[in-house]
Amino acid sequence: MALIVDPSLGLDNRDNPTHTAGTTFMGQFMDHDMTFDTSSPLGTPTRHGSVENARTPSFDLDSVYGSGPAKSPKLYDSSDRAKLRVASNGRFEDLPRESDGKAIIADPRNDEHLVLAGLQAAFLLFHNQAVEHVRASSRRRGDAFEEAQRLTRWHYQWMVLHEFLPLFVGQEVVDDVLRRGRRFYTVGRNAFIPVEFQTAAYRMGHSMVRPSYRLNFSGNEGGQLFAMIFAPSGMDLRGGRRLGPDGELLHVGWSTFFDFGDGFVRHNKRIDHRLSTALFNLPRSAIAGPGGPESLAQRNLLRHVTFGLPSGQRIAKRMRRPALSRGDLSELSEIDDEFDVDFRRHTPLWAYILFEAGTVEDGLRLGPVGGRIVAEVIIGLLQADPRSYLSEQPKWRPTLPSDSGNDFRMTDFLAFAGVAGSGR
């Protein structure tokens, strides 16, 4: 299908100067923390309310904590139940694993590739550092888990709202939703994930993925490995394993993914209708749920059919936003005849949102339709969670060590976890 064009064919694959490469993977981690559809079959019409979400629809890190030490004991350190279980004493960004390589984590998707597994490991280590911080501060051992969990959750939620959401949608949109309220996502205390968000708008991250990334490995000081995010053969960053090339343990080169000021950071691809080569041939280990095509573009378009989503033009009209013109969508004309559908008039929502970002915002962030959906849902989930800092203490500010002044950013998070900067 020519709807999504592979940039490896020679088309421009421009950097996004406002996004570092880690923005993609933090967005994926956030997605796995709020939603997990294990049941809806691709391409088969499915009633929206019939799909069970295997995650809690909030930013509560249940993808890290599971159901807690009592109900998910395998996730916790048997010698210290306040701490999460880690591998290699935390020396490498790896996950605790069974003998067959299966990761012992609450959400198996967070072992899809080594960068995401590294993020999961960083959250495990961050919590354990928070436990030590609480014990040193309060000198009370018994309640360390709950306080460390709260600190971890609230610093994570701060980054979601103040660092990553503005990168996805623009600071003006975030400020407008916070100041004037949500207009389209109506939610009380029973939060839910709208299908327009889950199956279309928030899948913008698929457009941001680069074909390859850099890791560091332990056998050679400063040694580097460039590998495809996924590849049908050869070295890639696929998860489900502990060892890197030639049996060496891998460090994620976090300075590639987030800006520590050392000059090594790389940027995301811009948000547009083009996907990187590796996403057209996904390995089965990276595909959640039963079967279906190996092309990520095809899978996303089939989800449009699964849930009977309205076109991007209909959503734009409902939001009273100017719709993209047929000229803006001219690249779709080549498939109109193939499917006997006018895709330039009735564009699947996922594709429309990518075209909108590339056309209206030059690929730097989501456009008016996609950005509004993502902003309202993410802010709404934080507002609906009675345990979020936005609900309990809306004027709270981060309290853990930071090099970002009164702010707390992902670089501070990784440094506190001990996987980057002076911690490494």
Report pTM: 0.89
Higher pLDDT among residues 331 and 5, named by residue:
331
| CATH number given to 7-423 | 1.10.640.10
Task: Label residue 220 by pLDDT band (50, 70, 90).
Answer: very low
Kindly report the average pLDDT of the chain as a whole number: 83
Q: Is the pLDDT of residue 398 over 60?
A: yes
Q: Is the pLDDT of residue 230 over 70?
A: no
Higher pLDDT among residues 82 and 251, named by residue:
82
Return d(Cα 378, Cα 4) in angstroms, integer.
27
Of 1, 109, 69, 103, residue with least CA distance to 336: 1
Return d(Cα 380, Cα 192) in angstroms, integer.
10
- Res 233: pLDDT: 53
Cα–Cα distances (Å) from 227 to 15, 110, 112, 115, 234, in that order, read 19, 19, 15, 11, 9
**Order of strands across the sheet with 250-252?**
224-228, 212-217, 250-252
What is the DSSP code (8-state) at residue 418?
T
Amino acid in position 128: N
Task: Label residue 280 by pLDDT band (50, 70, 90).
Answer: confident
- Res 1: pLDDT: 42
**Residues ≥6 apart with Cβ < 8 Å to 49:** none
At 112-163, the pLDDT tens digits run 888 898 899 999 999 999 999 999 987 655 679 999 999 999 999 999 999 9
Return d(Cα 244, Cα 43) in angstroms, integer.
37
Helix (H) or strand (E) holding 114: helix 114-138
What average pLDDT does this structure show over 212-233? 58
Reading the block at residue 326, the tokens are 């047929």
Higher pLDDT among residues 187 and 36, named by residue:
187
Of 115, 65, 121, 88, residue with least CA distance to 286: 115
**Domain boundaries, given as residue ranges, for the chain:** 7-423
Q: What is the DSSP string of 268-294?
A: EEPSSSB--GGGGS--GGG--SS---S
